[in-house]
Amino acid sequence: MKTRHLAFTLAAIIGAAAMLTSHSAPAQPAPGKVTLTSIVPDGKPHTLELKNKSFLIDGQPTLIIAGEMHFGRILPEDFETRVKQAKAMGLNTISFYLFWNLVEPVEGKFDFTGMNDVRRMLKICQDNGMWVVLRPGPYCCAEVDYGGIPSWTLKGDNVKVKIRTTDPKYMEWSRNYINAVAKEVADFQSTRGGPLLMVQVENEYGMAVKNAGGYDYPVALKKVFRDAGFTVPLFVCDPGSFSPKAAGPSPYGDDILRGRNGLNGEAAYQQALAAAGDFPVYAPEVYTAWFSAWGQPTATKNAPLKAITDWTTFLLDHNTSWCYYLVFGGTNYGYNTGCNEHLPLITSYDYNAPIDEAGRTTEKFRALRQILATRTGRMLPEPPAEPAVITLPEIRFKPIQTLSSTVGDKPTLTSAKPAAMEDLDQPFGFVLYRKTFPNGIKGKLELRDARDYAITTVNKKQVGESFVGVPGSNIINLDGSASLTIDGSPTVLDILVQNLGRISVIVDSTSPSRARKGLIGGVFLDGKELTDWSIYSLPLTNGPISLETDVPLHEAALPPGEHIPPTFYASTFTLEKPASTYLDLRNWSMGVVWVNGHNLGRYWDRGAIRSLLLPAAFLKAGQNDITILELNEAPKNPTVAGTTHFLETAPVPFPIKLDTPVLALPKP
């Protein structure tokens, strides 16, 4: 059977080529043709029903053929282009994650502007005849910081709140958020003339149900969505095999569609069919690849072209609705990447999607477009023009200031013990912990539970880096070296802690305490805890707090190739016309890049990705400013150039397996 389907697919791809121009005639019905409704969002009320194992819009059976994109990973300048590209690929629906932590970064203050402008995006979808599925959480996962739950839920006693449960405080937070989302989008529901067909309640709760104590929480959350004004069908998604069992009554209630992520293969289909009852089978996540982490090769799981074309053919053959995860992955601009247990994830979220990180259609896009056009008998619109992606000549940098010299004299907080980042009302970035020793410092310095990457300097000279993935790196021996002047004279100890992303997969009651960032366990000298700290909050969202560019450091102060205190480098470059590029950061060690105040994200020589996307929207005609915070090593050649594709090198693996809850050295 599989061979016959594959043969048909190849023939269909060849036969579809003639119909893929805007001037070609509609394709003739092909063997195995599937039928989609011609009803599109047009400003008039439409009803989606889930019955007779089908999706019905105004009574007409149809398939939902969707692709996923994420608010926070798409620039608002690209909203309409991405929607048009998705339509040109053959999709009739777009699914969106909306991340709570970006919408409500401060408790009670909601931001639906810029990359969170869900109203604008839904209007664009409606104008382009595309239906919408919305996945607002409250918990999303999606490889973002803390699965999309705001960091302020970890402040102080909030850390005791049992998230993803019916804990009254968590339900209150969730209700306030969902109510705010509903105020933005309820009038865009299909029943009120908009494109919004379905809304997801929570995400992959089946992974957490055992530790959370049952299904009371998603059932209670369902009522929150209904009370907020969501009248369209609600659904959930479960990963892998359904829990607690495949068939029988749904634990979520008989009014919730139960999607099955990764649905592929006859056994999985039969299981999903049995669990669906009278509902249609729906696969909310059909993977185009997988996420990638620092220190690992770029993920290739699910990525081959044949894998996704075979998968698409299987779903069409079974008349099953689905959503590609992802049609466009985009970029984790700034610091919103998550962490798979202890393993931090890379800045790029390209995900080998049909539309690449720079917004270009790919071979995967074109192959899927051919299949979808042929099997549905539609004449698809032409994709928008491909965006320009350019090279940039070499840009040379000079060191400007050390990070510690930009913080000023007034700390954010003075405290007997180091405070967590969340207790500073800080979601992302860095925290600097400073202590002065009037008579110097000597002995074994130990950082306990530093989260995540800690850089220790003594009198502005770097003496050690600590990360959980490097055994023993939390111990620094201060031996009284004269070059550090740490014995018998005033000494300043600085510990800079970088948040590399909070845990994304939240499955039990220990997740909140594991998600807090900073010097959680304190600092000890020869076994005695150090107290009385000056603490500086350094979110560094849009760049340095203050940077005296007219007082550059002498380059000789930073010996190339040697460890340095965290230092800002700066330069400029000129463009006639803005266009996207990938910045080549292979000369640099670890840090963050800003262009014209826009945070491109983190780089790290652990690899495998060694570049950052610089999108055209962050650039301007004329002079552009670029700043790099280098944390570890003075570059031998402090330059950056622009390339047309992301760059990879062999990764530097961690000696400890980091994507499991319990850290241990691999077995020999």
Residues 575-624: tens digit of each pLDDT? 999 999 999 999 999 999 999 999 999 999 999 999 999 999 999 999 99
Alpha-carbon dihedral sign for residues 109, 113, 116, 118: positive
Q: Residues 136-142: what's their mean pLDDT?
A: 97
Is 212 a residue whose pLDDT tops 90?
no
Q: Residues 459-467: what's their mean pLDDT?
A: 93
Q: Residues 27-42: what's their mean pLDDT?
A: 76
pTM of the model: 0.92
Confidence of residue 485 (pLDDT cuts 50, 70, 90): low
Note the pLDDT of residue 245. Answer: 47
Note the pLDDT of residue 483. Answer: 62
Token pair for residue 228? 């907020």
The whole-angstrom separation of Cα 597 and Cα 567 is 17
Token pair for residue 618? 């962050």
Is 544 a residue whose pLDDT tops 80?
no
Q: Residues 239-244: what's their mean pLDDT?
A: 57
Is 668 a residue whose pLDDT tops 80?
no
Confidence of residue 546 (pLDDT cuts 50, 70, 90): low
Q: Residues 4-23: what's their mean pLDDT?
A: 35
E strand segments, 206-298: 234-239, 256-261, 282-287
Q: Residues 392-419: what's their mean pLDDT?
A: 94
Confidence of residue 248 (pLDDT cuts 50, 70, 90): low
Q: Mean pLDDT, the chain, as a whole number?
A: 90
Token pair for residue 282? 């729906």
Note the pLDDT of residue 547. Answer: 55
With b for 16 or more beta-carbon neighbours within 10 A and e for fewer, the 221-241 pattern comes to bbebbeebbbebbbbbbbbee
Domains and their CATH numbers in the chain: 2-376 (3.20.20.80), 392-401+557-643 (2.60.120.260), 408-538 (2.60.120.260)
With b for 16 or more beta-carbon neighbours within 10 A and e for fewer, the 44-65 pattern comes to eebebebeeebbbbeeebbbbb
Note the pLDDT of residue 18. Answer: 36
The whole-angstrom separation of Cα 630 and Cα 570 is 11
* Range with lowest mean pLDDT among 62-76, 228-242, 297-311: 228-242
Is 21 a residue whose pLDDT tops 60?
no
* Percent of the chain residues topping a pLDDT of 90: 79
Provide CB contacts within 8 A for 140, sequence distance 6+: 97, 99, 100, 147, 148, 203
Is 121 a residue whose pLDDT tops 80?
yes
Q: Residues 308-325: what's their mean pLDDT?
A: 97
Note the pLDDT of residue 140. Answer: 97
Confidence of residue 240 (pLDDT cuts 50, 70, 90): low
Note the pLDDT of residue 482. Answer: 57
Confidence of residue 51 (pLDDT cuts 50, 70, 90): very high
Q: Residues 111-138: what's their mean pLDDT?
A: 98
Note the pLDDT of residue 486. Answer: 67
Confidence of residue 207 (pLDDT cuts 50, 70, 90): confident
Is 543 a residue whose pLDDT tops 90?
no
Note the pLDDT of residue 568. Answer: 95
CA geometry: angle 72, 78, 80, nearest 5 deg = 115
